[in-house]
Copies of this chain bind each other. A is one copy, B any other.
Amino acid sequence: MQYCKTMPEELNPPVFVLRLGHRPKRDKRITTHVALVARAFGARGVFIANVVDENLSRTVRKVIESWGGNYFKLVMGVNPLKLVNEWKREGGCVVHLTMYGIPVNEVLDRVRRCSKILVVVGAEKVPRIYYEIADYNVSIGLQPHSEVAALAVFLDKLWNGRELSLCFSDAKIYIVPSERGKCVVRRDEWKGEDTEAC
């Protein structure tokens, strides 16, 4: 069995995430989860609309330092409509995740043909313009739930689960899957899935 068999650059088309409506106090942990899911599920970076949040950037940097993914971009204080318009001008697709959209399975084939994908996830209320400007409004189920969950399930389906064996070559530490307890090995001890460190 191989656990560590997908490299980030193999997950194509490249995906970036645009997080709308982040309020540093209220959404602190949700936006952190959005960013960590983006990284762990193979997106190349996250844009945070309008605000700059040093706590968020510190958390993401700390995860990258240990677990790798230095290429992962966190760009804050972005003008979101300008970004979306530029993205489309460059030929990229914009996928807005919303419970009101088209079921994900109906758009996957089309979305996989994009040259690059910007996934837009909102907080409470997303302005109407994003429904209009998006190439695809996509739902993960017909129920209210969570932008963290929606992003994860969307990326998992986009890549047919290949992101679950994602590894980062610049990681300092790796996990060796274990039935009980925690097995973490340092990079220089890592000899692939057969490492007998724990």
**Residue A91 lies at the interface, judged by CB distance under 8 Å to chain B:** no
**Could you name 15 residue pairs across A and B whose Cβ atoms are closer than 8 Å?**
A3-B142, A33-B145, A33-B146, A36-B144, A37-B149, A67-B144, A100-B175, A131-B181, A137-B178, A139-B175, A145-B152, A148-B152, A149-B151, A149-B152, A153-B156
**Residue A177 lies at the interface, judged by CB distance under 8 Å to chain B:** yes
**Residue A101 lies at the interface, judged by CB distance under 8 Å to chain B:** yes
**Residue A114 lies at the interface, judged by CB distance under 8 Å to chain B:** no
Interface stretch (choices A14-22, A45-53, A77-85, A162-170): A162-170
Q: How far is the CB of A178 from chain B (nearest CB, A)?
A: 6
Closest 4 CB pairs of A and B: A149-B152, A40-B143, A33-B146, A40-B145
CB atoms of A101 and B178 under 8 A apart: yes
In A120-150, the 8 Å CB interface with B consists of: 128, 131-132, 137, 139-146, 148-150
CA distance A51 to B131 in the complex (A): 39
CB-CB under 8 A from A99, the residues of chain B are 175
Q: How far is the CB of A44 from chain B (nearest CB, A)?
A: 15
CA distance A148 to B149 in the complex (A): 6
**Residue A102 lies at the interface, judged by CB distance under 8 Å to chain B:** yes
Q: How far is the CB of A121 from chain B (nearest CB, A)?
A: 12
Known: A1-B106, A143-B166; 18 extra A-B contacts, CB below 8 A, are: A4-B142, A33-B148, A33-B149, A40-B144, A41-B141, A67-B144, A100-B178, A101-B177, A105-B161, A132-B180, A139-B175, A142-B164, A142-B177, A145-B152, A148-B152, A150-B152, A153-B153, A157-B161
| Chain B minimum-CB-distance residue to A178 | B100
CB atoms of A37 and B146 under 8 A apart: yes
